[in-house]
Structure 1
Amino acid sequence: MANEQIDAPKRVIFGLSMKLITMIIAMIMVVEVLIYLPSVANFRINWMDDRVHVAGVAARVIETVPDTMDLTPDTVSKLLSSAQAEALVVRTQGQSQLIERADMPMPVAAYAADTRERAPLDLIGRALEVLFFGSNRTMRVIGVPMDNQDVVVEVLVNEALLREELITYSRNIFWLSLLVASFTSFAIFLFLNGLLIRPITRLTRNMISFRQDPDDARKIIIPSERGDEVGVAERELAAMESNLFAMLKQKQHLADLGLAVAKINHDLRNTLGAAQLLSDQVANLDDPHVQRLAPRLVHTLDRAINFCQSVLDYGRHKSVAPRFEPVDLRALLDECATDAAVRMHPEIEWHNQVEDDVIIRVDPDQIARVLTNLLKNAREALEPLSLQDGQNLSISATLIANDQQVRLFIEDNGPGLSPRAKENLFRAFEGSGRAGGTGLGLAIAKELVEAHGGQLNYIETEKGTKFEICLPR
């Protein structure tokens, strides 16, 4: 673990804090936009109401002038300037009076805007139209003054005046909204920074630091006393890092112990090999006592050598990813049965009940290793029974397949597994079903099947032993 190459952590440029501030400002600005739309529509209608109100005042002025007198050009200019209008039309009791400058021609209105029509969506649309597409057109504002309901006035004004004031109002609203959003986001950030950002940053830095050196116990996080989800995350991270630290130490000790055991096994195997050569020479002596004891001695030495070799093979075993290719399952079974000395066995019958056209995509070498191991275990379980008369010994392979998966069953009619073997099945050095076995074969077989995305299962039967291999089709 210490020698493993660890990539340096990438520097976070746009971190959680910046994302949080940006999100808060963006959300506040969105809310401000939703508030701005009706407010700008209200500003436009109020602006036009002011023009109508001034026109109403002008109407009162006109009423005070006797019919025998005409309005002077100076009075007309003052009335129009107060309303920022180019011309006024006052309608009362069926009569209309036009007020315009004598030195300027009567402008032609491009469109009319009636202040008595106040549909909200229509007001927003008209305000945005003036704001974005307004020009020097003349608009005819129609309305009723609040202090004189009997009078209807029409005010001809330049649209550019309204657009200029709308732009100024919008600019002020934008800067005010940005200022409010900045102060609000900063206040919310200060609150969330202490509540979430800093604890999350602490968790992140601790995970990076612990990943770089998991053998250092000082890198294990010290959880706070918070009772919320952050506190739970800190305590769970501390427990996970503690367990990982202990597990790494244990695995390091086991690795050192395994290396020592491998060296001992290697030397022991060589010693036992030499002893086997001597036992072969002793077995050729004519002494009756030697002839009686020699087979047991040779058998014991063979078992010891096989055990040492199995341990060394398991230690050298490396997990290699399967290389998938189409495989004829029936042919592969027959080949494995031959390798396991099952197919041509004089006392054991071999039944391959898999059809000829079953093709699966697997690693043929790895699956062959699994099948050979299962068939070899079945043969070794049946061979002691072959000395008994009347025994019909058999090993069979059957198949249940569909479009998704293949279920292959390897079954024998032997004595079955002992209770201890069933409890420790698929565990290295513990799950052997026969005396002197290591249990490594089934452990490796299960690992190989799982590497294919499948499962290796033991199935309880009344007699014999039955294993199921489930593989994706």
Structure 2
Amino acid sequence: MKDQPSVMTGRFSGLSSKLIATIIGVILLVEIVVYLPSLASFRATWLEDRLRVGIVAARVLDAVPDVMALPRNLTDRLLNSAGAHAIVYRREGQSQLIELTDPIIPDVVVTADLRLRDLPTQVLGALDTLFAGPGRTLRVVGAGDTDESLVELLMPETPLRRDMLDYSRSIALVSLGIAAVTAFVLYVLVSRLFIDPVLRMTNNMLAFRKAPENGSLILTPTRRRDEIGILERELADMESDLFSMLRQRRHLADLGLAVAKINHDLRNTLTSAQLLSDQVATLDDPKVQRLAPRLVNTLDRATGFVQSVLDYGRETTTVPQFSSVGLYDLVEDAAFEARVAGHPLVTFQNDIDPELFVDIDPGQMGRVLVNLIKNAREALEAAQTEQAIIAVETRVGDGKLIISVRDNGPGLAPRARAKLFVAFEGSARSGGTGLGLAIAREIVEAHGGTLTLAETGSGTQFDIALPWRGPLD
């Protein structure tokens, strides 16, 4: 017996935790997508602020005829305000340089051209700065305040990277806060609309599975008209039907047990009556000789009916044990068991290809074939058909292997066709129980196939349609 799953009680277990994690993950993913352009914009703004100081320094250079005459403390202040080691001003093919009193020779220089405004370039530059190692020098290039003028700054990259890291931490904290608040609000909303109803139905199904005969556990549906409301109503109807079916099954089981006991006692009584009827049949009285065969036949039919009911009551649902079976030999064995092989009045034709093999349970499918062939023989004997023939053949259609059992008898009456496969009601002959075809249909359906009565102009034909994946030679 499989272990039954425990009832879900945790608020943040199962689907709830997955929902929260998904919401937070999606929000953080969106924040990352937004973060990259924002970081690139922060870097561009930071560099532009330093470049403006370089432009001011360039104006100072324009105002002074001799740059070398500028006081060193003034140039150092200009450079320090821009955070640069040197400023180069280029205009009309001329270049002017301002550098610190103690020039610094950089080891690694990377260029940041602020004239390139496309987003991919800015994002790649921001990521390059963010993940760069220490000690690099940044060469910032930008347009001056006049046409065809250029300003260049040589500055250490470390202050920019430090400010970008501070900015990233701030963005991360804000993003986490937004994600947490948004996830909480969405969770409350989605939980109320979806998670709680699903959790309620899940707990109900698990509890009802443990005690399906407890009517108090049947789900009470809400008035929702959406898909969850439909699911609640369908689940409630299914549980109600299952509750009623289980109670009915218990009553039928009790009734069947009582009938089996009655049949057992009745069979013993009929057996005793048969023995007495056999003794009565040996008497020489003419009236007894005339009535005794009728009495014996009546007792035989009653005994056979009781035995059929007992066999049907003992019939259990057995899973078919599939194996590759030669269909020709199986039909031959069934014909022999049904007392058709060598019959003086009935000709049997086995038109099955001897090389045809099918995946079936030979015991169960052989029982079906015996029943169908036996029914055909009894129908032909009762009708006293001249040149009586029973034939078994196969064909393939719509992905099915169809095994046909047909005879050239008088066929079935319309009344017999209506309830042909209904137990105790589907007998095609007088005195029959109708259990044979009912059991045969159950066996064929357990094989994934169907058993049907084919519409023919004359005679009777039953078709067994089984799943088929191979060629029929």
The normalised TM-score by structure 2 is: 0.93
Task: Give the 3-state SS of the residue equivalent to 2:96 in structure 1.
Answer: strand
Q: Distance in 2 between matches of 1:5 and 1:34?
A: 47
Per-residue Cα deviation, 1:73-124 (whole angstroms, up to 9, x for no partner): 2222211111011111122444322111222345466232221111211111
Amino acid at match of 1:165: D
Cross-structure match for 1:463: 458
C-alpha deviation, 1:208, in angstroms: 0.9
Cross-structure match for 1:29: 28
406, 424, 428: which one aligns with 2:401? 406
216, 219, 228: which one aligns with 1:218? 216
Q: Distance in 2 between matches of 1:64 and 1:254?
A: 112
Cross-structure match for 2:102: 103
**Which deviates further from its counterpart, 307-316 or 417-426?**
417-426
Task: Give the 3-state SS of the residue equivalent to 2:88 in structure 1.
Answer: strand
328, 352, 355: which one aligns with 2:353? 355
Q: 1:68 to 1:296 in 2, by over 3 A?
A: closer
The answer to whether 1:7 aligns with 2:4 is yes
146, 152, 155: which one aligns with 2:153? 155
Per-residue Cα deviation, 1:134-153 (whole angstroms, up to 9, x for no partner): 431112111124x5556421
Q: Could you tell me whether the CA contact under 8 Å between 1:427 and 1:439 is conserved in 2? A: yes
Cross-structure match for 1:84: 83
**Which deviates further from its counterpart, 350-359 or 250-259?**
350-359
Task: Give the 3-state SS of the residue equivalent to 2:69 in structure 1.
Answer: coil
C-alpha deviation, 1:64, in angstroms: 4.2
Cross-structure match for 1:370: 368
C-alpha deviation, 1:60, in angstroms: 2.8
Structure 2: segments with no counterpart, 5+ residues: 469-473
Q: Distance in 1 between matches of 2:352 and 2:279?
A: 47
Q: Distance in 1 between matches of 2:43 and 2:408?
A: 96
C-alpha deviation, 1:251, in angstroms: 1.2
Task: Give the 3-state SS of the residue equivalent to 1:82 in structure 2.
Answer: helix
Q: Could you tell me whether the CA contact under 8 Å between 2:50 and 2:82 is conserved in 1? A: yes
C-alpha deviation, 1:425, in angstroms: 1.6
Q: 1:360 to 1:228 in 2, by over 3 A?
A: closer
**Which deviates further from its counterpart, 200-209 or 62-71?**
62-71
Q: Distance in 2 between matches of 1:144 and 1:109?
A: 23
Task: Give the 3-state SS of the residue equivalent to 1:266 in structure 2.
Answer: helix
C-alpha deviation, 1:302, in angstroms: 0.6
Q: Distance in 2 between matches of 1:270 and 1:68?
A: 134
Q: Distance in 2 between matches of 1:94 and 1:349?
A: 117
Amino acid at match of 1:67: D
* Superposition pairs of residues 256-335 of structure 1, within 5 angstroms: 256-335=254-333
387, 393, 415: which one aligns with 1:392? 387
Amino acid at match of 2:432: G
Q: Distance in 2 between matches of 1:317 and 1:56?
A: 101
Amino acid at match of 2:444: V
Per-residue Cα deviation, 1:31-69 (whole angstroms, up to 9, x for no partner): 111111111111111111111101112223344446387
Q: Could you tell me whether the CA contact under 8 Å between 2:109 and 2:137 is conserved in 1? A: yes
Q: Distance in 1 between matches of 2:229 and 2:401?
A: 47
Amino acid at match of 1:361: D
Q: Could you tell me whether the CA contact under 8 Å between 1:458 and 1:467 is conserved in 2? A: yes
**Which deviates further from its counterpart, 357-366 or 397-406?**
397-406
Task: Give the 3-state SS of the residue equivalent to 1:277 in structure 2.
Answer: helix
C-alpha deviation, 1:402, in angstroms: 7.9
Task: Give the 3-state SS of the residue equivalent to 1:270 in structure 2.
Answer: helix
Task: Give the 3-state SS of the residue equivalent to 1:142 in structure 2.
Answer: strand
C-alpha deviation, 1:265, in angstroms: 0.7
Q: Could you tell me whether the CA contact under 8 Å between 1:141 and 1:154 is conserved in 2? A: yes
Identity of aligned residues (%): 51
Q: Distance in 1 between matches of 2:377 and 2:299?
A: 21
Task: Give the 3-state SS of the residue equivalent to 1:156 in structure 2.
Answer: strand
CA RMSD of aligned residues (A): 2.1
Q: 1:68 to 1:193 in 2, by over 3 A?
A: closer
The answer to whether 1:71 aligns with 2:70 is yes
Q: 1:90 to 1:306 in 2, by over 3 A?
A: same
Q: Distance in 1 between matches of 2:134 and 2:433?
A: 94
**Which deviates further from its counterpart, 73-82 or 351-360?**
351-360
* Superposition pairs of residues 48-197 of structure 1, within 5 angstroms: 48-65=47-64, 67=66, 70-107=69-106, 110-145=109-144, 151-197=149-195
Q: Distance in 1 between matches of 2:456 and 2:91?
A: 109
The normalised TM-score by structure 1 is: 0.93
Amino acid at match of 1:307: F
The answer to whether 1:418 aligns with 2:416 is no
C-alpha deviation, 1:292, in angstroms: 0.8
Cross-structure match for 2:471: none
Q: Could you tell me whether the CA contact under 8 Å between 1:134 and 1:159 is conserved in 2? A: no
Q: Distance in 1 between matches of 2:134 and 2:2?
A: 68
Q: Distance in 1 between matches of 2:148 and 2:307?
A: 115
Cross-structure match for 1:202: 200
Q: 1:95 to 1:325 in 2, by over 3 A?
A: closer
Q: Could you tell me whether the CA contact under 8 Å between 2:7 and 2:203 is conserved in 1? A: no
Task: Give the 3-state SS of the residue equivalent to 1:407 in structure 2.
Answer: strand
Q: Distance in 2 between matches of 1:395 and 1:69?
A: 124
Per-residue Cα deviation, 1:8-38 (whole angstroms, up to 9, x for no partner): 4375784111111111111111111111111
222, 226, 232: which one aligns with 1:228? 226
